[in-house]
A and B are shown apart, each in its own frame.
Chain A
Amino acid sequence: MSVRVQSARFDAGAELNAFSAGLENAGAVVSFTGVVRDREAGGMVAMEIEHYPGMTERAIAGIVEEARRRWDLADALVIHRHGRLVPAEPIMMVATAARHRLAAFEAAEFLMDYLKSRAPFWKKEIGPRDAAWVAAKDGDEAALGRWAAREQ
């Protein structure tokens, strides 16, 4: 299990290869990469991601721990960046490995849902003349409900 919080750009393909190379007895690997996209209004110059050093690492470790409790994972990887990013750069990635694909898919989705609203990151979209904090969506919080409902 690996969690990295970093400002440096990463190569999602190389990370996935390295993750997959270290696996034993895993029949399924799922990965997701989040990428900086333009604003709906267009003209985005950069995205600035602020985080809470210390709590960020703890929160993500707790989320990964919960995923391991729920699914039999061979391995999991979370990389999340902070600082100034430009459109088309990778923001974050998760990878999960399990014996079977259902566990790998579900655990990856679980990690994504929780990273979105339980890991202390805040995104700001920087335009040529303006900047605005990205607001959390109602759906982000609602997405957690489907996992709570399945809690045994």
Chain B
Amino acid sequence: MIDCLYFAWVRERIGAPRERVETSAATVMELVEELRGRDPRYGAAFADLSALRVAVDQELSGFDAPLAGVREVAFFPPMTGG
């Protein structure tokens, strides 16, 4: 089980801030593909991966990051702090 977190317009498109996902995906990219297949909302949120950032266990990562032992994956647009 992995906790998936969504922020900003990713959250709005998916319609939830977080959810627990039962998955055997080996990488973030595989998880994205799996979610895309589940519901069109994910297709809308993950349409352009170049516009998305991902954090694995609260560290910025790439879409090729492995998920073995990972508890939390977050998807969000480029950050706009400051």
Q: Which residues of A are in contact with B by a Cβ distance under 8 Å?
A: 34, 50, 52, 54-55, 58-59, 80, 91-92, 112, 115-124, 133-136, 140-141
Contacts and interface: CB of A to CB of B under 8 A. Distances in A.
A140 B76 CA distance: 17
Contacts of B69: none
B82 A120 contact: no
A118 B60 contact: yes
Contacts of B11: 50
A92 B81 contact: yes
Interface residues of B, number: 17
A115 B7 CA distance: 17
A91 B76 CA distance: 21
Nearest to B17: A50
A121 B60 CA distance: 13
Given A112-B82, A133-B80, A136-B78, 19 more contacts: A34-B82, A50-B7, A52-B58, A52-B74, A54-B58, A55-B55, A55-B58, A91-B82, A92-B81, A116-B79, A116-B80, A116-B82, A118-B79, A120-B81, A122-B77, A122-B79, A133-B8, A135-B78, A136-B79
Most buried by A among B5, B55, B80, B81: B81
A52 B55 contact: yes
A54 B7 CA distance: 14
Interface string B6-21: 0111010000000000
Contact of B8 (A50, A54, A91, A140): A50
Nearest to A111: B82
Contacts, number: 71
A24 B58 CA distance: 35
A133 B12 CA distance: 11
B66 to A, nearest CB: 19
Contact of A121 (B59, B74, B80): B80
Contact of A92 (B55, B78, B82): B82
A122 B55 contact: no
